[in-house]
Structure 1
Amino acid sequence: MKKKMMITCTVVLVTAAVILGFVLKNQVRENPDKNTVNVAIGQWGTTQNESQNYWNPDNHAVAKGMGGYYFIQTTDGISKIAFFDETTQEAVAVCAKPECTHSDNTCNAYLCDMKQTGSALYLTDTIYCYNGYLYLIQCEGGMGKLVRIHTDGSARETIADLFANTGVSSISLVFHENDVYAYDDTGHAGQEEEAEEVIKKISLTDGTEQTVFSYTGTGASIDRGRSFGDKLYFVIREYTKNKETKAVSSDYKGLFEYDFATGDTRKVIDADVCDYHADTENQTLFYFVQGTGLYAYDMTQGSNTLIYPAEDELIQCKMSYDGKNLYLFNNGAGRATETKTRTQRYCYVLDTKGNQIAKILCNGVVYFGDTDYLFEENGDNLEYMKKENLSDKSEWIQVN
Structure 2
Amino acid sequence: MNKKLYLTVAVLLILCFVLSSCRNETQISFTPTNTVESDLVILQPDLSLPDEYYTSMNQGARVWHSYLNTPYGKYHYVDGFILYSQYGNSKFVKLCTKAECTHTDDDCDAYLGKIDQIVPTNEKTIQLGYYENNIYYVERSKKNGLDWNLIKMNMDGTERQLVKTFATVSLTQGKRCLGFFHSGYYYFVMINAGQEMGSKYNTDNNFYRVKLDDYSEYESVISHDVIPEACMFTLVGDNVFFYVRTGPYNENYKLYDENPAEYELYMLSLTDKNMRLLTDKWADYRNSHFDWENAYCYKHNDGFYELNLTSEQMNKVADFKIEDAWGSLAYFYPDYNYIIAFAKTSDSRGYPRYFDSQTLYILDKQYHILNSCIIDALKLDTGCFIDDTGISVLLASSAHKPIDFFIYKSDIGTDNVKLNEITD
Q: What residue in structure 2 maps to residue 234 of structure 1?
A: 242
Normalising by structure 1, what TM-score? 0.67
- Deviation digits for residues 270-293 of structure 1, max 9, x if unmatched? 21322321355xx55321235532
- Deviation digits for residues 255-284 of structure 1, max 9, x if unmatched? 22111111111121221322321355xx55
Conserved? CA contact 2:298–2:304, under 8 Å: yes
Summarize the alignment of residues 205-244 of structure 1 with structure 2, pairs less than 5 Å apart.
Answer: 205-213=214-222, 220-227=229-236, 229-237=237-245, 240-241=249-250
Identity value in percent: 15
SS of the counterpart of 1:329? Answer: strand
Q: Distance in 1 between matches of 2:182 and 2:397?
A: 24
1:360 aligns with 2:365: no
SS of the counterpart of 1:59? Answer: helix
Q: What residue in structure 2 maps to residue 347 of structure 1?
A: 360
Conserved? CA contact 1:197–1:215, under 8 Å: yes
Conserved? CA contact 1:294–1:309, under 8 Å: yes
1:390 aligns with 2:412: yes
Q: What residue in structure 1 maps to residue 290 of structure 2?
A: 278
Q: Distance in 2 between matches of 1:172 and 1:333?
A: 31
Q: 1:295 to 1:313 in 2, by over 3 A?
A: farther
Q: What residue in structure 1 maps to residue 209 of structure 2?
A: 201
- Segments of 5+ residues of structure 1 without an aligned counterpart are 1-43, 335-339
Tell me the amino acid that sits aligned with residue 305 of structure 2: Y
Q: Distance in 1 between matches of 2:301 and 2:288?
A: 14
Summarize the alignment of residues 76-115 of structure 1 with structure 2, pairs less than 5 Å apart.
Answer: 79-86=80-87, 89-112=90-113
Q: Distance in 2 between matches of 1:46 and 1:386?
A: 26
Q: CA deviation at 1:86?
A: 2.5
Q: What residue in structure 1 maps to residue 267 of structure 2?
A: 257
Q: Distance in 1 between matches of 2:215 and 2:323?
A: 49
Tell me the amino acid that sits aligned with residue 173 of structure 1: F
Conserved? CA contact 2:197–2:232, under 8 Å: no
Larger Rg: 2
Q: What residue in structure 2 maps to residue 325 of structure 1?
A: 336
Conserved? CA contact 1:273–1:288, under 8 Å: yes
Tell me the amino acid that sits aligned with residue 98 of structure 1: A
Summarize the alignment of residues 59-208 of structure 1 with structure 2, pairs less than 5 Å apart.
Answer: 59-74=64-79, 79-86=80-87, 89-112=90-113, 124=125, 126-140=127-141, 141-142=145-146, 145-154=149-158, 155-159=160-164, 160-161=166-167, 171-176=178-183, 178-183=184-189, 188=196, 193=201, 195-196=203-204, 198-204=206-212, 205-208=214-217
Tell me the amino acid that sits aligned with residue 354 of structure 2: R
Tell me the amino acid that sits aligned with residue 308 of structure 1: D
Conserved? CA contact 1:133–1:151, under 8 Å: yes
Q: CA deviation at 1:99?
A: 1.8
Q: CA deviation at 1:184?
A: 6.8
- Which structure has the higher relative contact order (CA within 8 Å, separation 6+)? 1
SS of the counterpart of 2:53? Answer: helix
Conserved? CA contact 1:213–1:265, under 8 Å: no
Conserved? CA contact 1:104–1:110, under 8 Å: yes
Q: 1:288 to 1:263 in 2, by over 3 A?
A: same
Q: CA deviation at 1:225?
A: 1.0
Conserved? CA contact 1:194–1:217, under 8 Å: no
SS of the counterpart of 1:270? Answer: strand
Conserved? CA contact 2:267–2:277, under 8 Å: yes
Tell me the amino acid that sits aligned with residue 96 of structure 1: T
- Deviation digits for residues 172-210 of structure 1, max 9, x if unmatched? 41403x323224799536966464465322222235223
Q: What residue in structure 2 maps to residue 13 of structure 1?
A: none
Q: Distance in 1 between matches of 2:302 and 2:181?
A: 28
Q: Distance in 2 between matches of 1:191 and 1:52?
A: 23
- Deviation digits for residues 359-394 of structure 1, max 9, x if unmatched? 333412335313233233514112331341236852
SS of the counterpart of 1:109? Answer: coil
Q: Distance in 2 between matches of 1:219 and 1:324?
A: 36
Summarize the alignment of residues 36-75 of structure 1 with structure 2, pairs less than 5 Å apart.
Answer: 47-50=51-54, 51=56, 53=58, 56-74=61-79
Greater alpha carbon shift after TM alignment, 319-328 vs 191-200: 191-200
Equivalenced residue count is 337
Q: What residue in structure 2 maps to residue 374 of structure 1?
A: 394
Q: 1:232 to 1:103 in 2, by over 3 A?
A: same
Greater strand fraction, Structure 1 or Structure 2: 1
1:293 aligns with 2:303: yes
